[in-house]
Amino acid sequence: MAQATARNLASGAPEGGQRSALKRQAILGAAEDAFLKGGYLGTNMDELAAQSGVSKQTVYKHFGSKEALFVELVTTMTNEAGDRVHNEVPDPADEMELANYLQSYAERQLAIVMTPRLLQLRRLVIGEVGRFPALATALYESGPQRATSALAMVFERLADRGLLEIDDPSVTASQFNWLIMSAPLNEAMLLGDAAIPNTAQLHSHVAEGVRFFLAAHGRR
C-alpha cells in the first residue's frame, strides 16, 4: 500500500489537499509495515520516510512525533476494521431472522478481528502499553468499546420490539461480544496465527455462542 501511494505522489498529478491526503496515506501505509515488522523501538523514521516517498520533515509535519504516528496508526487500523463490522446492516425483520442476524454479525466480527495483522497490532500495543498508555486507549476505544456500544444500540432496538429480553443493553452487548470473542482471540493471541480458526471452526463456535445467548435472552 505504501509503495503504490508513493508512486502516486511521484507522478505529481494530485494538488493541494488531495496531495496532502495522499502523503498522509503513504506515511500511514509505511508506518503499518514498519511498526508491525520492527516494533516501536525498531522503527527507523528515516527509513519510514523514504518508504513513504516523503521527507522526514513531512512525516513530522503531519504527525508531530513518532509516538503520535504510532497512536494514529493504531486508531486508523482499528477504525477501518470496525467500519467493516459495523457498517449499517438492517435489523432482523422478525424473530425467525434473529439467530441468522446474530450469527452473521458475530462471524463478520471474528473474521475481521482474527486477521494476522490486527492480531500483530494488538500484541504490539500490549507490549508497549507501559511506555505509551495512549496506545491502549486508542485500541480499546476504536475496538472493543466501539463494538459493544454499536451492539448495545442494536440490542436496545431489538428489546423495544420484543425480540430480546434484556435489562441493560450495554451489559448484554459486552457479554455477547466476549462470549463470541474471548476463546478464539485469547488462543490466537497466545498461541500465534496457527491458532486462528478456519471458516468451519469459526461458524461452529459462533453458532454455539448464539444458541447459548438466545437461550438466556431470546423471547420466551
3-state secondary structure 35-87: HHHHCCCCCCHHHHHHHHCCCHHHHHHHHCCHHHHHHHHHHHHHHHHHHHHHC
Is residue 122 within 8 A of residue 186, CB to CB? The reply is no
Q: At what angle do helices 56-63 and 66-86 cross, to 10 degrees?
A: 60
CA dist list (Å): 176 to 134, 165, 170, 172, 173: 27, 13, 10, 6, 5
pLDDT bucket at 5, cuts 50 / 70 / 90: very low
Instruction: Flag whether pLDDT at 152 surpasses 80.
Output: yes
The cell for 201 is 471452526
Per-residue pLDDT tens over the stretch 177-200: 999 999 999 999 999 999 999 999
pLDDT bucket at 130, cuts 50 / 70 / 90: confident
- Can you tell me whether residue 213 is helix, strand or coil? helix
Question: What is the average per-residue pLDDT within 110-124?
Answer: 92
pLDDT bucket at 15, cuts 50 / 70 / 90: low
Per-residue pLDDT tens over the stretch 22-81: 999 999 999 999 999 998 889 999 999 999 999 999 999 999 999 999 999 999 999 888
